[in-house]
Amino acid sequence: MKRNQNQWFYFIIFCLLLILSSCGKKLSEESTLKRVEQSDQIVWGVKNDTRLFGLMNIKTGQPEGFDIDIARALTKEILGDEKKASFVEVISKTRIPLLKNGNIDTIIATMTITPERAKQVDFSDAYYHAGQTLLVKKGSKIHSIKDLNEKTTVLAVKGSASTVNIRKAAPLAKVLDLESYAECFTALKSNQGDAITTDNTILMGISEENPGYVLTGGNFTKEPYGIAVKKGQEEFVKKLNQALKNIRKNGEYERIYKKWFAKILRMMQ
């Protein structure tokens, strides 16, 4: 008799655990696509301090740039109206935490698809191809990563792929990690560092505005940008990829690309 009671006890505990674990699973797997459709808006995590990609226009109170326009075009594809895109500021190190906490539905913020990040989030297909390089003051003795040694300090941003890559590419150089690219540029101007390292795209934005500073040495990595969503949101990733295909087909992608990069491409020729 006692044995029978024990068996029941364990059986009930087992059932309770089963129910609890399936509840937990449901909560963590809440569908981003459903949420987006129900709320009729997509909350995008975007940069606010990165010229050309995501920069706050203080007059309009809206961020502007390539990432922002692509986000709007994709929102139009998915929800029928680009006005259904809303934007929340992220910086490199807050991108993944804000996504995981549910503060944003997705990230479009100069974010490289890396194997390390792909363990934490899922990515769309690449929508832009950048590469990491250096920005220095005109006349600097640094011409490429080969010139970075124990006497040089490179400025990078916390949470970026760039700060990881530079440690491998120039292991002798000192690396000073700051919060944002704006801070990096202030530090470069005040000689706290000899070069800034990150994607050519971001550095071109700084150089375009500050002609005394130039890109040097060419790209030493490949940085394919992806749109990140929470892990396990296959439906939403599929929607994003389809929307990306559509805007490439209907010319919207090219229009946005030219809007932001035509001048820079001309400058580089």
Contact 91, 178 (CB under 8 A): no
Per rule CB under 6 A, is residue 223 in the interface with ligand GLU?
A: yes
Report the first-to-last Cα separation within the chain, whole angstroms. 88
Question: 221, 226, 92, 91: which is closest to 165 by C-alpha?
Answer: 221
Q: How many residues bind ligand GLU (CB under 6 A)?
A: 12
Q: Which two tokens stand for residue 203?
A: 């550095």
DSSP codes joined into one string, 74-134: HHHHHHS-GGGEEEEE--GGGHHHHHHTTS-SEE-SS-B--HHHHTTEEE-S--EEE-EEE
67 scored as a contact of ligand GLU (CB under 6 A) = no
- The region of 57-65, 155-163, 172-180, 246-254 touching ligand GLU under the rule CB under 6 A is 155-163
For ligand GLU, the binding residue among 32, 48, 112, 197 (CB under 6 A) is 112
Burial class (CB in 10 A: 0-12, 13-18, 19+), 222: exposed
Among 74, 161, 175, 256, indicate the residue that binds ligand GLU (CB under 6 A).
161
Span from 11-19, 56-64, 153-161, 168-176 in contact with ligand GLU (CB under 6 A)? 153-161
- Nearer CB in complex with ligand GLU: 33/45: 45
**Shorter beta-carbon distance to ligand GLU: residue 76 or 205:** 205
Q: Applying CB under 6 A, which of residues 157, 175, 228, 237 lies at the interface with ligand GLU?
A: 157
140-148, 167-175, 183-191, 197-205 -> range binding ligand GLU (CB under 6 A): 197-205
Of 195, 228, 219, nearest in space to 268 by CA = 219
Q: Hey, which residues between 76 and 105 contact ligand GLU (CB under 6 A)? A: 92
Closest to 239 in 3D by CA, of 15, 42, 4, 100: 42
Residue 162 binds ligand GLU, judged by CB under 6 A: yes
| Closer Cβ to ligand GLU, 48 or 112, answer by number | 112
Binding site for ligand GLU (CB under 6 A): 92, 110-112, 157, 160-162, 198-199, 202, 223
